[in-house]
Amino acid sequence: MTTTPAYAMCAFDPDNPFAPCDDTIGTLEYPKTPDEIIPAPLKQMNLGIKLGHIICDPDKYPVWNIHYKPACVYPDSEGELLTRGWAKLRLLLPAGPDPIKELEVMGQNVFSLRILGNYIVGDEKYPLSYDRKRELAWEYSQQYHPEQTYLEYAITPHQNSYNVGDKIQLDLLEWGNYSDCWNLKLKIIDVKNNPVYEDNSVKYCLEPDGKPGTFHSYSIGEDFREFVCERPGYYRIEVSNGKIFSPDILENFVCLENKPEPEPNPFTVGIPFDQTFQYKDLELYFYDIEDSRCPLDVTCVWEGEVTVMIHVRNQTHKIAGYFTPGYTISYITPYNVTLVDIQPHPISTEKPDYIATLEITTLDDDVFAEPMKNAVFDKGLGHYDYLPINDNPNMMAMEKIELQNGNSINIEFGQNNYEWSTGYKPIPEFEYNANFKVNDTFVVLCTNIGKDGYADVHPDLSKPYLPGLGIVKYLGPITVENEPLLLFWHESASIQVDMPCSYPEMIHHSINLWQLQEHGLPTNSLVNALGSNYQN
């Protein structure tokens, strides 16, 4: 979490390209996003970065004006700036007659680009041999550094943006008429000039062989020890070689948080007949089909229909669903499963190899939590419930309760007890276990009260209604006439938006959404607590 921007990122305005910009460095503990990590282009140059090595956010490109002042712009802005004459066309180097100056300004020049094959003279064949590279180094030395002792360097990075945990990859090109790899050092420094890596190539040093021209290529991870991005940040690479080549910043790169691409939602998959597909914790098995659609090669008076049977299960649900195209099962935590299509269309002379195309939508927790949190309670109403310990409680969706150490309870929820105790239309099969502490609240019942305020006699709980909720607060174990019981406070509430009574998500997302306050005193009569049937 940052308290101030890492760097002042000068917002570029194509209508006011010469607007002043304060690109001073701010403070940052742990930068995470590209706009927090990557300094503004002018700041990069102030930190020693060559114009040709300016890096931008992943969705922008570097440009520079006729005075070689850089900016990072979106692709559609670059063309407009070129048209207006503000931006300079990013030509392939070499773009000037002085390769020494070109190397200072751009970070590459005619020699490095020729070695890499980005600048080809005549019918030169690539890749170049090592001897040919030394010949070119000698020719370059004779032309631009006659009778001088010199070395020049360029870095060719594999990329400029890495994720935390990645190994950095780069090649260091060295050429000249002198060799002193005993003093060659590679250093990586952060934006505050703190060194985070330093190594030299002494163990890989090659002795001069007396031939004219010097050319070497060094790789990090091979000739230099490897460097791994340990945290997000902006880094620069410094190279030096004793007295012959003073420390100079040659490249830069960024390490970003590894953010995987979000999975598509909804997710679409085609499942062949008699095949199983696993999506996260959801298992789908296409096991049967009834297809009365009119074959393509037959004329029919009725177009027919198709129904596929798909077994859907996860940790809390087991459902054998009958799907027609467009039908959605919406009570499998936390998914909606819709049959999009079933292909191929039948032909009278062939047996089709069916594929059911399903769309799986992952639901947000708020789909359940927010509507329940805003439920309207029946004012002033409520009562105590007394349930036996370690037995079938005969209460709504609770099938079994076990008392744990510390007075917490483990409850097994399911559809069997719910159907028997309420008489409502059977809901889809589900199983759900949860542990509750004293004073925890949760849903034990969902009914469809209808828009007229009255409960439907036998509603389909999978369809959207205005649900009524039975909500309990667990108060702990008590003793009534020497009989150990579990005590609950029970209230009713209604949700004000249409939604299905979906189990077990209604239970799971309801835990401790409310603060219930009991009133009155519990009974001291076992008959009043449990009724005569329990007493007998």
Residues found in the chain: 536
pLDDT tens for residues 333-392? Answer: 678 889 999 999 999 888 899 999 999 998 776 677 888 888 889 887 899 988 888 767
- The beta-strand segments (E) located in 220-314 are 233-241, 245-256, 267-272, 276-279, 282-291, 306-313
Top mean pLDDT of 7-11, 146-150, 486-490, 502-506 is at 486-490
Output the CA torsion 413→417→421→424 (10° steps).
Answer: 90
Mean pLDDT, residues 290-316: 88
The percent of residues above 90 in pLDDT, for the chain, comes to: 29
Is residue 415's pLDDT more than 80? no
Higher-confidence position of 33 and 350: 350
pLDDT tens for residues 333-350? Answer: 678 889 999 999 999 888
Q: What is the 3-state secondary structure (H, E, C) of 453-488?
A: CCCCCCCCCCCCECEEEEEEEEEEEEEECCEEEEEE
Of 122-131, 251-260, 287-296, 363-372, least confident by mean pLDDT is 363-372
Residue ranges and CATH numbers for the domains of the chain are: 140-256 (2.60.40.1930), 267-363 (no CATH), 367-535 (no CATH)
Against a cut of 0.75, is the pTM above it?
Answer: no
Question: Mean pLDDT for the chain?
Answer: 80
Hey, what amino acid is at 480? V
Q: Which strand ranges, in their side-by-side order, compose the sheet holding 282-291?
A: 276-279, 282-291, 306-313, 318-323
pLDDT at 207 (0 to 100): 62
d(CA 244, CA 246): 7
pLDDT tens for residues 442-485? Answer: 999 887 655 444 444 445 555 556 778 899 999 999 998 888 99
Residue 139: HSE in the Cβ half-sphere, 13 Å Cα cutoff? 10
Is residue 33's pLDDT more than 90? no
Give yes or no for a contact between 334 and 506, defined as CB atoms under 8 angstroms apart: no
pLDDT at 334 (0 to 100): 77
Give yes or no for a contact between 444 and 491, defined as CB atoms under 8 angstroms apart: no
> How sure is the predictor about 293, in pLDDT bands with cuts at 50, 70 and 90?
very high
**Torsion sign, CA atoms 272, 274, 275, 281:** positive
Instruction: State the CB neighbour count (10 A cutoff) for residue 62.
Output: 18
pLDDT at 78 (0 to 100): 67
Give yes or no for a contact between 448 and 465, defined as CB atoms under 8 angstroms apart: yes
**Closest CA relative to residue 31, chosen from 1, 59, 60, 10:** 1
Hey, what amino acid is at 496? Q
The percent of residues above 70 in pLDDT, for the chain, comes to: 80
d(CA 265, CA 263): 6
Burial 4-24 (b: 16+ CB within 10 A, else e): eebbbbbebebeebeeebebe
**Closest CA relative to residue 186, chosen from 209, 168, 207, 213:** 168
β-bridge partners, 276: 285
What is 107-124 written as a DSSP string?
Answer: S--HHHHHHHTSS--TT-
pLDDT tens for residues 60-100? Answer: 888 877 677 888 888 777 677 777 766 655 544 444 578 88
Residue 165 backbone class (left: φ over 0; alpha: ψ -120 to 50; beta: rest):
left
First to last CA, the chain: 63
Mean pLDDT, residues 271-295: 92
pLDDT at 180 (0 to 100): 72
> How sure is the predictor about 3, in pLDDT bands with cuts at 50, 70 and 90?
very low
- Radius of gyration in angstroms for the set of CA atoms belonging to the chain, rounded to a whole number: 36
pLDDT at 244 (0 to 100): 86
pLDDT at 87 (0 to 100): 61
Indicate the SS3 state at residue 219.
strand
pLDDT tens for residues 97-136? Answer: 788 888 888 888 889 988 888 888 888 888 899 889 999 9
